[in-house]
């Protein structure tokens, strides 16, 4: 793989106008040259390349070390770009676009002719979204290209919510990073399959099932979210262990007192211990590293801080990590999906 001096271009997303911004223009030139660039979205940082170019897509997979059967999501800045990307737009998909774009919602649609087969992992469908971030939208617009963009991290690690996270993972592996500051939502987009009669959530995320159903009626959860699917995944985040810190992580469905018992057992073995806790419980734990990730009464704050906390464990001495669980309602469904993937399904019940 080609070695790069990875450029970092800082952009203030609060600027009155980003049109013609010199840093974004520089980044777009690399995109047009079939290189890959990390950029901020409202969810996490993405690693973008020309979605119509096999060469660019190969570089995304190489930089991340990503399995080749894991499809990518295509990011657009205007509805005009859907032409050639999607073969057609089902009525309920259009309803969701009207309600939630730009925003953290990816729609799986019948694939058009202009998408690289490497983007879709050979599937007849393609995931498309319009991010709600001024820097992302201007980069896509300036390049004039739809951008395939998975999270800008080494595959399997916690997703990046700052440019520094990207740099830690991908320094020397990519051409550059557009630094637009910390991201907002903190967990990736919700993915909805719109290619069959029943709309199906393939990955929970920043838009909740309840919000989707208010617009488009009944939506089902893919069975693979409950029972791991070993077939070819239709969406990122379905098949592989993701979002994991270096030390093994165990989810614990139990009281703080029970979690402390588990910590004490590992301490007795001489292990350095870590606990991922809600803000309300951090004072209850006596572990080597206790990291809060947000309030149990405001799950949006947990979503926002989750990946920061998981990455922070890599800076600690923790050799085993125990995590609290959260209610599977609203954005809590997305939080638990990410934690279950991060733990590789390992859960301890009191």
Please report the sign of the dihedral spanned by the C-alpha atoms of residue 192, residue 206, residue 135, residue 31. negative
Q: Is 244 annotated as a binding residue?
A: no
Please give, one letter per residue, the 3-state secondary structure of the chain: CCCCCCEEEECCCCCCCCCCCHHHHHHHHHHHCCCCEEEECCCCEEEEEECCCHHHHHHHHHHHCCCCCCCCEEECCCHHHHECCECCCCHHHHHHHHHHCCCCEEEEEEECCCCCCCCCCCCCEEEEECCCCHHHHHHHHHHCCCEECCECCCCCCCCCCCHHHHHHHHCCCCCEEEECCCCCCCCCCEEEECCCCCCEEEECCCCCHHHHHHHHCCCEECHHHCCCCCCCCCCCCCCCCCCCCCCCEEEEECCHHHHHHHHHHHHHCCCCEEEEECHHHHHHCCCCEEEECCCCCCHHHHHHHHHHHHHHHHHCCCCEEEEECCCCCCCHHHHHHHHHHHCCCCEEEC
Q: Is 161 annotated as a binding residue?
A: no
Q: Is 75 annotated as a binding residue?
A: yes
Instruction: Give the Cβ contact number of residue 127 at 10 Å.
Output: 27
Q: Is 268 annotated as a binding residue?
A: no
Q: Is 243 annotated as a binding residue?
A: yes
Q: Is 129 annotated as a binding residue?
A: yes
Q: Is 203 annotated as a binding residue?
A: yes
Q: Is 43 annotated as a binding residue?
A: yes
Q: Is 316 annotated as a binding residue?
A: no
Q: Is 70 annotated as a binding residue?
A: yes
Q: Greatest CA span in the chain, whole angstroms?
A: 61
CB 289 within 8 A of CB 305: no
Q: Is 173 annotated as a binding residue?
A: no
Q: Is 56 annotated as a binding residue?
A: no
Binding residues for L-threonine are 43, 75, 129, 149, 189
Binding residues are 43, 66, 70, 75, 125, 129, 149, 151, 159, 189, 203, 243
Binding residues for ATP are 66, 70, 125, 151, 159, 203, 243
């Amino acid at each position: 793989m080609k070695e790069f001096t990875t450029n970092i271009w800082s952009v203030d997303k609060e600027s009155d106008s980003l049109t013609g911004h010199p840093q974004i223009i520089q980044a777009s030139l690399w995109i047009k040259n079939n290189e890959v660039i990390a950029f901020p979205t409202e969810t996490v940082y993405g690693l973008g390349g020309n979605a119509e170019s096999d060469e660019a897509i190969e570089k995304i997979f190489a930089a991340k070390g990503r399995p080749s059967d894991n499809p990518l999501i295509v990011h657009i800045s205007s509805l005009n770009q859907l032409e050639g990307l999607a073969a057609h737009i089902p009525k309920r998909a259009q309803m969701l676009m009207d309600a939630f774009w730009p925003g953290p919602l990816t729609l799986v649609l019948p694939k058009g002719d202009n998408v690289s087969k490497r983007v879709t992992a050979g599937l007849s469908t393609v995931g498309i979204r319009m991010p709600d971030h001024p820097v992302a939208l201007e980069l896509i617009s300036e390049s004039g290209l739809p951008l395939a963009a998975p999270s800008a991290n080494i595959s399997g690690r916690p997703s990046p919510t700052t440019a520094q996270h990207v740099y830690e993972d991908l320094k020397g592996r990519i051409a550059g990073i557009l630094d637009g500051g910390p991201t907002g939502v903190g967990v990736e987009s919700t993915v909805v399959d719109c290619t069959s009669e029943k709309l199906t959530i393939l990955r929970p995320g920043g838009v909740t099932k309840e919000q989707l159903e208010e617009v488009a009626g009944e939506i089902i959860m893919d069975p693979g979210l409950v029972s791991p699917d070993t077939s070819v995944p239709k969406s990122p985040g379905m098949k592989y262990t993701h979002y994991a810190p270096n030390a093994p992580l165990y989810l614990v469905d139990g009281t703080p007192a029970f979690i402390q018992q588990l910590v004490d057992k590992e301490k007795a073995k001489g292990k350095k211990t870590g606990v991922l806790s809600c803000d309300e419980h951090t004072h209850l734990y006596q572990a080597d590293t206790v990291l809060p990730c947000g309030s149990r009464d405001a799950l949006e704050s947990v979503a926002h801080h989750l990946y920061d906390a998981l990455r922070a464990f890599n800076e600690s001495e923790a050799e085993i990590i125990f995590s609290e669980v959260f209610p599977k309602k609203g954005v809590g469904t997305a939080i638990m999906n990410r934690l279950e993937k991060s733990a590789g399904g390992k859960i301890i019940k009191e």
